[in-house]
Structure 1
């Protein structure tokens, strides 16, 4: 009996699937908070050099007379080209003569400046503290702020590679629960460290855990729903990610001290770890990995939750699992029902590239048109990504699906790393980066046409199924390829007699 038939018997979208999503979607929401956390915890507030006349509590009013703080700032900190106090330099000695200048004197010698040898003073009106103010990641040390974000992304890259293998080997639920516990430990610990190096290490480990939680949570939803409901499930997952961004903004508004915010977005994962015990392991994975009894037990449990009492007793498994048929026929977008996976992706990718290219040459004064084109491009990109996600799930067998999603994550992280670097090409031609951003989606859309079309076709569970599908295709095309059939008579005979 094909797994799809078993899923139909126990209920492909019932109370169980809703409960499974209710347990998993909060993971996704808070994972986005972890991914985007440095947007707030690493915010760079306004700052200037620490100077004794303004910031030394031991300097009395008699030392400075009746001078206002603005006057003291004027004689202590040089101005930049915009006549604002410089952020990274101060005068070596107070420049009292600047108080009496009514104009600009071209024959004046520029006062000697120095870097902020005694540290910085930060504007705390928006954020009382960030990792930037904690470890003075400004001026000559500002590049270290990017290191934190890069390490988290590198952690996601490594986690995608390792987590996919572990999930295919030990199961989705087990690895998910371990990573929930690990992220609780790493994230909470990061809120209490006082060493920048340790903080960076913990954020790297948090990145490793985060991507595994995200991919495994997605699989524990997708692998339990029927094909007609798969589009809805994927859409709900992506909506949860967007809600997570809103949640993070609200939390950052309430908890503005970075250690508190770090703690607030990490502690919930302990609750998620405890609640994850009620998740049900993917029966698809259990069956494919030669655990039919456990898979059957999971199916009966789902049948009971969905109110399919009779189905639980009627479920049976056949002896030859390598002949399992299609797992899913998901439809990521309504248009894919008519145009197919490849054509739809090519269309959306072409529209993404076209939107970018057209917007590149629209004059800056036509802001309304530019915003409209940018909005269209983002919409097409989101639709293309959703379609790609469905296509990817249909192309890869269950035994390799987690690893494939891990590689997909690696590719995404590589793209995120390379994209900002392309902006350096503006030195040679201001429009060159945008031309590249526009041309590459079009090329990628054309490359998609070389992938197999999966519309109305079942997904495979094992490598054996994939090989068998190739031989079946060869059998169907025997009239077009008589020479190949004559070269492989034993394979033709095997397929013909199955």
Structure 2
């Protein structure tokens, strides 16, 4: 166990302090869920046809039905064509009635929508006909923002800390999320959505690491999955919010403005003590060290970590002394500990330079790719399952709550590796089964999609917990950033995969199902991390197998004899892969 891990265990690794921290970190997930799927309800499928008002110049007394009969061709089913019209001519009305119109063209003058339809992205920016693919492309642009956020905020969090990145991400999400409601053009809308996507990644990834680094081993999965349950609640709130607010700009304001509230209480958010310990940041205005500790031996880093850890025992009521005495005792305890071999800050290259980290990085990147492809492929295909989109979204959000809760127990019973592999296999198989369901069975398709969403959500939650335990502290955010980049890459591809249904309806679901099945088999090559302490460095001091053997033997013997003072020192248990 690392030094910070020892102190956290002493002062309480899941007391009121950590529970309050979990509460603080999960609430922003409500807004994250809104931004992930709000566009699905801003582009409703409404009837439309080409603007043919040109004929009013020659026939001002024509009824609407007569105007459409003269200017719009009909399809094979007898309905008016939505994306073409008869070309305007310079004839009088009598000639048009006598000879009719034959030549067709696209909707050069725009489209006409029902007058009672509330403003939406589709009606305001004409996302129909040859522009309908812009809807899915804008979803991919949002996923590109998630990808860029992984690229930027992962390494940035390892460099400047978890807390600053969280606050920056919340500010960006509030400003650009609210600004999206006032954009004049669709391309500006896509640019703003890209920035919002980047901020979403900064919030979710960094909150995960912050919670994992303050909480003990046994409660870590529970804390992470609670935040995912909050995300599912946000999906359900989105269903009700979008049902009650049909104007897309008002919906965007209602979903984006509440994030500013988190800026006011986030001032109480602590920095990760693990990160501070290993990065060695100095504490400004610390003054002289406490009296029990020699000043020349007490570094600013240890003083800062001691101050942070001083919050936990007071909140957890594990320190019976007054705050100053509690602070001094923790500081004195830190100095009694034998100094650890300090690791240099890790870099992205370390993820591939070291054999054990290279295997973890490659397989977990594939795992996140498959998780994201199945999860977003099902979630963004909401309008194609044949049932009401609001009820389907409500069901999709509701099913995620039991999937996250069940995942907590499965992770404890069967371990991380088996859980990750089997959940991916199940989600892929469900998607493959959907390809064989006839299109006239929307209820069966939706039920299977809900089951697929259940397993895909649980697989995604497992990946978050598993990845946080596989990567060491000095590379945790960088490793999560790499995995998240892989997930965002598949998120970019997911809306584009759905466009393949114009060639055959079964192609998208076949792709969404086959990838998780293949990656699920790869997960059996990963090491198990159930019940192990978080690794802090990259394993430079010992070979991975040696460290694991020593850790296992120390857990059986309990204590080993120290070399320096002849006293029993608790054997450090650090797991490497």
TM-score interval w.r.t. the shorter chain?
A: 0.7 to 0.9
Which residue matches 1:83? 78
Which residue matches 1:210? 200
Whether the 8 Å contact between 1:95 and 1:111 is mirrored in structure 2 is no
| 2:49 counterpart SS class | strand
TM-score by length of 2: 0.70
Q: 1:336 to 1:216 in 2, by over 3 A?
A: closer
Q: Distance in 1 between matches of 2:311 and 2:436?
A: 59
Q: 1:10 to 1:414 in 2, by over 3 A?
A: same
Q: How does 1:68-79 map to 2 (within 5 A)?
A: 68-79=63-74
Q: Distance in 2 between matches of 1:133 and 1:425?
A: 24
Pick from 132, 137, 159 the counterpart of residue 169 of structure 1.
Answer: 159
Q: How does 1:380-399 map to 2 (within 5 A)?
A: 380-399=455-474
Q: 1:361 to 1:98 in 2, by over 3 A?
A: farther
Matched, 1:264 2:244: no
Kindly state the Cα deviation for residue 64 of structure 1 after the two structures are TM-superposed. 4.1
Q: 1:441 to 1:84 in 2, by over 3 A?
A: same
Which residue matches 1:114? 105
Matched, 1:400 2:419: no
Which residue matches 2:126? 136
Q: How does 1:306-317 map to 2 (within 5 A)?
A: 306-310=316-320, 312-313=326-327, 314-315=329-330, 316-317=333-334
Which residue matches 2:217? 227
Whether the 8 Å contact between 1:46 and 1:122 is mirrored in structure 2 is yes
Matched, 1:149 2:177: no
Matched, 1:180 2:181: no
TM-score by length of 1: 0.80
Pick from 290, 297, 308 the counterpart of residue 298 of structure 1.
Answer: 308
Cα offsets for 1:74-95 (capped at 9, x unmatched): 2233323332222222332599
Kindly state the Cα deviation for residue 216 of structure 1 after the two structures are TM-superposed. 1.3
Whether the 8 Å contact between 1:166 and 1:175 is mirrored in structure 2 is yes
Whether the 8 Å contact between 1:397 and 1:466 is mirrored in structure 2 is no
Which residue matches 1:104? none
Q: What residue ranges of structure 1 are gaps of 5+ in the alignment?
A: 102-107, 325-330, 478-495
Cα offsets for 1:264-287 (capped at 9, x unmatched): 222222221222111111111111
Q: What residue ranges of structure 2 are gaps of 5+ in the alignment?
A: 281-300, 344-405, 553-570
Q: Distance in 2 between matches of 1:466 and 1:378?
A: 43
Whether the 8 Å contact between 2:166 and 2:207 is mirrored in structure 1 is yes
Whether the 8 Å contact between 2:17 and 2:311 is mirrored in structure 1 is no
Which residue matches 1:41? 42
Q: 1:440 to 1:190 in 2, by over 3 A?
A: closer
Pairwise CA RMSD of aligned residues?
3.6
Cα offsets for 1:213-258 (capped at 9, x unmatched): 1211222222222222222212211111111112222222333222
Q: 1:323 to 1:27 in 2, by over 3 A?
A: same
| 1:197 counterpart SS class | helix
Kindly state the Cα deviation for residue 120 of structure 1 after the two structures are TM-superposed. 1.9
Q: 1:433 to 1:85 in 2, by over 3 A?
A: closer
Which residue matches 1:278? 268
Which residue matches 2:401? none
Q: 1:154 to 1:120 in 2, by over 3 A?
A: same
Q: Distance in 1 between matches of 2:495 and 2:100?
A: 41
Whether the 8 Å contact between 2:431 and 2:449 is mirrored in structure 1 is yes
Which residue matches 1:444? 519
Whether the 8 Å contact between 1:75 and 1:98 is mirrored in structure 2 is no
Matched, 1:123 2:114: yes
Kindly state the Cα deviation for residue 31 of structure 1 after the two structures are TM-superposed. 1.3
Which residue matches 1:347? 422
Q: 1:410 to 1:303 in 2, by over 3 A?
A: same
Q: Distance in 1 between matches of 2:75 and 2:120?
A: 25
Q: 1:146 to 1:387 in 2, by over 3 A?
A: closer
Q: Distance in 2 between matches of 1:52 and 1:435?
A: 44
